Amino acid sequence: MLSRFTAVAALAACVFVAACDDDDNGTGPQDFGSLRVVNAASSAQSIDVYSDGNLLASNIAFLSGTATCFDVEAGTPALEIRTAGTANAIATLNDPVAANTNYTLVLMGSNNATLLTDQFTAPNTGEAAIRFINATGTAIDIYASDPSAGGIGTTPTSANLAVSSTSDYINIPEANTRFTFTAVGSTTPLFEVPNFTLPTSRVATIVLTQDDQGAYQFVAVEPCS
């Protein structure tokens, strides 16, 4: 039996954030990158995000991402994630941000955040480009398969994805919308998304995490556009 998984878990646990243009009207200065924020840390039920001391986004709940992509000045901005409504810093980053480049910022836990470049090749017709992030406490294998198929196969789509690690974007058949997460070397599901709804762009980042009871959950977002 899947861990704490019910027929509605995929809908209840997943907040799919649609692609969007940059904050404002997308015609701003050319020395900005574009940023979406995802909260995958159960220890931080809601977060605020600051860049160089300026509030970018507020009250981002666990298992959700910002619906808007925010302009962040190119260079090395001081990105700070705080407990919502407080000055309590959960994680800070000083990673470089390039102009005219899209990023996803993911909080995975205390002092554990990553800034990812949304760099991918547009999938061919009939394919999807999926990237996985492991925000759980153990390494995992990931299988992408057709829900109409009898099994998940024997070769992981992404093998031995370490804790706090991110896979490359992986091109998969568009029909392969069942995602099964297992312990490394096993085909016994820890958690399964039985029929994932692909976004219009057919490009997504899927973050596997755990809630404060240890149950597996996931959140999926599209890149900024």
Name, in order, each residue with C-beta under 8 angstroms of 81's C-beta and a sequence gap of 6 or more: 44, 47, 48, 49, 50, 89, 90, 91, 92, 105, 107, 113
- SS3 state of residue 220: strand
Q: How confident is the model at residue 2 (pLDDT cuts 50, 70, 90)?
A: very low
State pLDDT tens for residues 149-161: 889 999 999 999 9
Q: Output the pLDDT for position 150.
A: 86
- In the chain, pLDDT over 90 holds for what percent of residues? 81
Number of structural domains found in the chain: 2
Confidence at residue 30, expressed as pLDDT on a 0 to 100 scale: 60
* 64-95 CB burial, b ≥16 within 10 A, e <16: bbbebbbbbebeebebbbbebeeeeebbebee
| Both tokens assigned to 210 | 């755990």
Q: What confidence category does residue 184 fall into, taking pLDDT thresholds of 50, 70 and 90?
A: very high
Residue 2 lies in a domain: no
In a domain, 91, yes or no: yes
Both 172 and 139 in one domain: the answer is: yes
For residues 107 and 139, state if they share a domain. no
Examine residue 20 and state whether it is found in any structural domain, yes or no.
no
Domain with 82, as residue range(s), is: 26-117
Give the DSSP letter of residue 168: P
- The answer to whether residue 85 sits within a structural domain is yes
The set of residues, in sequence order, having a beta carbon less than 8 Å from that of 73 and lying 6+ positions away, is: 31, 32, 33, 51, 52, 97
Q: Which of 117, 152, 178 is the last residue of a domain?
A: 117
- Residue 136's CATH number: 2.60.40
End-to-end CA distance of the chain: 39
Same domain for 105 and 145, yes or no, is no
Instruction: Please say which residue of 59, 93, 117 terminates a domain.
Output: 117
